[in-house]
Structure 1
Amino acid sequence: MPRGILPEVKLRAVKDYISGSGSYLSHASELGVGKTVFRRWVNKYKTFGESAFIRTGHNQAYPASFKKYVVETYLNGEGSYRELAVTYNIPSENTIRQWVLK
C-alpha cells in the first residue's frame, strides 16, 4: 500500500466504489495509484473490512513456519501471490514472491 495515502482516504474511496460510485480506474486516478493497487485495496476491504487499512507503524515479522506454509500453499497451486496475500493479510504480493525465491 502506498504509505502516503491516509487509511481514511483509502477507506472512503473503497466504500464509494463498492456503493457504485465510480470505477477502479476513476478512483485510482484520483488517488494517484494504479488500477491494480486500488483493486487490491477493494479485495482486502472485502476480506478484512475496515481493519485492512489499519497501520501498525512497523513491518510485520513472520515466523519461519508461517512463511513455509504460505510457500507450500503457493507451490501446491492452491493460490496465486495475490490470493495468498489477501487471504493471509500480507501487505505485498512481492513478499510472498521473495519467500518462494528463497
Structure 2
Amino acid sequence: MAKYSYELKKKIVEEYLNGKASHKILAKKYQIGESQIERWVNNYKHFGDEGLMRSRNKREYSVAFKLEAITRYETSECSYQQLALELGLTNPSIIANWRRQY
C-alpha cells in the first residue's frame, strides 16, 4: 500500500475543500484513487490535521471494542467509512479486518 506524505494529503484536501477540483479530477491529477481522496477529506473534516497524519504508535483496541464495532456494522446500514468516523478511527479497513478475525 502506498504511503503519502502529510503535506501531499493536506494539499489535495485543501484543493478539494476550496472548490478547485472534484475527487475525480484530483484523483487523475495526482494518480491516487478517488476513494482514497474522499477518505482523506472525510478524515480531515472529522479529525482535522490529525486525520491526515500517519500514526507512529500502533493503537491497541480491546476485544470488547472490536466486537461492538462488528456488531454495529452488521446491525446497521452504515458503511465502514461512516462507522469508522463514528468510532474515531481514521482507517475504515480495520473494521473489515476485525470481521475476518472474529
TM-score, scaled relative to structure 2: 0.83
Alpha-carbon distance change, 9 to 94 in structure 1, aligned in 2, over 3 angstroms: same
What does the per-residue CA deviation read over 1:20-77, in whole Å, with 9 as the maximum and x for residues that have no partner?
1011112122222111111111111111111101222243322212111111111221
Please list, as runs of the form range in 1=range in 2, the aligned pairs for 1:6-85 lying within 5 A after superposition: 6-77=5-76, 79-85=78-84
Q: CA deviation at 1:78?
A: 5.5
Structure 2: state its 5+ residue gaps.
Answer: none
Q: Is the 8 A contact 1:14 1:41 kept in 2?
A: yes
Q: Which residue of 2 aligns with 1:95?
A: 94
Q: Is the 8 A contact 1:47 1:87 kept in 2?
A: no
Q: CA deviation at 1:13?
A: 1.0
SS in 2 for 1:79: coil
Runs of 4 or more above 6 Å deviation: none
SS in 1 for 2:68: helix
Q: Is the 8 A contact 2:43 2:90 kept in 1?
A: no
1:23 is matched by which residue type in structure 2?
Answer: S
Alpha-carbon distance change, 88 to 2 in structure 1, aligned in 2, over 3 angstroms: farther
What RMSD in Å do the two structures reach over aligned CA positions?
1.9
For this pair of structures, how many residues does the alignment match? Answer: 101
